[in-house]
């Protein structure tokens, strides 16, 4: 059965999914890149960048699993770029250059309409202006029975959690403190939402925790 999943979502020890002051030069916010040290050297990440080599092991295995059976993606607007308000032009096409790593349909949550953007490698960005449930409906249709992955950012994950729509989460706790930024789980009662820990793996660079939402009796 198709799932709505969060995978490879890095979180600081003080609970932030990104640092403050996101900008064109600092897309993860101040200090935010430190959250992702666990994945940058893996074989999976290096392949995404078109490079050879990279480490294997548990970090790489979790990074690779994040792409398993994913048929479409949902992203918040900040994950697409730093532009705020109405789109000033059609020039900005995401952080990732001409060949983004998604290789499938990606649905961007925004308040401002924009025509779809077809990129190299099979990625097409669609812009959804009428809410998270519409984005999920369109994503499920596009996924063709495979899973939908919520790529972030923290605000988008929180919205789907609070709506009770996420089935599975793989969180990666990186051994850093950010002090401020975008909180992921503040005020969210995961046990009340039905989440239980399914997996827990510690590596030298991170602690991987997989949570699964249990069906109500």
pLDDT score for 145 = 96
Mean predicted confidence (pLDDT) in 97-104: 93
Rounded to whole angstroms, how far apart are CA atoms 147 and 216?
21
In a domain, 81, yes or no: yes
pLDDT score for 12 = 97
Chain center to CA of 211: 15
Chain center to CA of 53: 24
Neighbours of 138 (CB within 10 A): 18
pLDDT, one tens digit per residue, over 127-180 is 999 999 999 999 999 999 999 999 989 999 999 999 999 999 999 999 999 999
Average pLDDT, the chain: 94
pLDDT bin (cut points 50, 70, 90) of residue 217 is low
In a domain, 78, yes or no: yes
**Prediction pTM value:** 0.94
- CA-based max dimension of the chain: 50
Mean predicted confidence (pLDDT) in 84-113: 93
Give percent above pLDDT 70 in the chain. Answer: 99
Rounded to whole angstroms, how far apart are CA atoms 22 and 98?
22
In a domain, 127, yes or no: yes
Find out whether 112 and 185 touch, Cβ atoms under 8 Å: no
Helix 154-162, helix 132-143: angle, nearest 10: 90
CATH number for 30: 3.40.430.10
Number of domains in the chain: 1
Mean predicted confidence (pLDDT) in 57-65: 97
pLDDT bin (cut points 50, 70, 90) of residue 216 is low
In a domain, 188, yes or no: yes
In a domain, 92, yes or no: no
Q: What is the DSSP string of 128-177?
A: E-S-HHHHHHHHHHHHTTSEEEEEE-HHHHHHHHHTT---EEEEEE-S--
Max mean pLDDT among 24-28, 124-128, 151-155 falls in: 124-128
pLDDT, one tens digit per residue, over 200-215 is 999 999 999 999 999 7
In a domain, 93, yes or no: no
Mean predicted confidence (pLDDT) in 97-120: 95
Structural tokens at position 150: 């919520």
The burial of 93, by beta-carbon neighbours within 10 Å (0-12 exposed, 13-18 middle, 19 or more buried), is given as middle
In a domain, 208, yes or no: yes
In a domain, 178, yes or no: yes
Domain that holds residue 160: 4-86+98-213
Interior/surface letters 101-132, b for 16+ CB within 10 angstroms, e for the rest:
ebbbbbbbbbeeebeebebeeebbbbbbeeeb
């Amino acid at each position: 059965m198709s799932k709505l999943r969060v995978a490879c979502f890095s979180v600081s020890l003080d609970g932030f999914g990104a640092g403050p002051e996101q900008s064109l030069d600092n897309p993860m916010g101040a200090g935010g890149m430190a959250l992702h040290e666990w994945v940058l050297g893996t074989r999976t990440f290096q392949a995404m960048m078109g490079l050879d080599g990279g480490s294997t092991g548990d970090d790489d295995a979790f990074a690779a699993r994040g792409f398993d059976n994913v048929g479409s993606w949902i992203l918040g607007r900040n994950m697409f770029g730093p532009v705020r308000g109405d789109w000033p032009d059609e020039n900005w096409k995401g952080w990732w250059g001409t060949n983004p790593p998604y290789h499938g349909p990606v649905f961007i949550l925004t308040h401002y309409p924009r025509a779809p953007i077809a990129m190299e490698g099979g990625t097409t960005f669609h812009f959804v202006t009428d809410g998270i449930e519409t984005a999920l409906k369109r994503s499920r249709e596009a996924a063709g029975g495979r899973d939908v992955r919520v790529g972030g950012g923290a605000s988008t994950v929180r919205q789907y959690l609070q709506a009770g729509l996420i089935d599975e989460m793989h969180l990666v706790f990186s051994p850093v403190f950010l002090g401020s930024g975008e909180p992921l789980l503040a005020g969210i009662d995961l046990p009340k939402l039905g989440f239980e820990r399914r997996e827990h793996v510690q590596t030298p660079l991170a602690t991987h925790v997989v949570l699964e939402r249990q069906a109500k009796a």
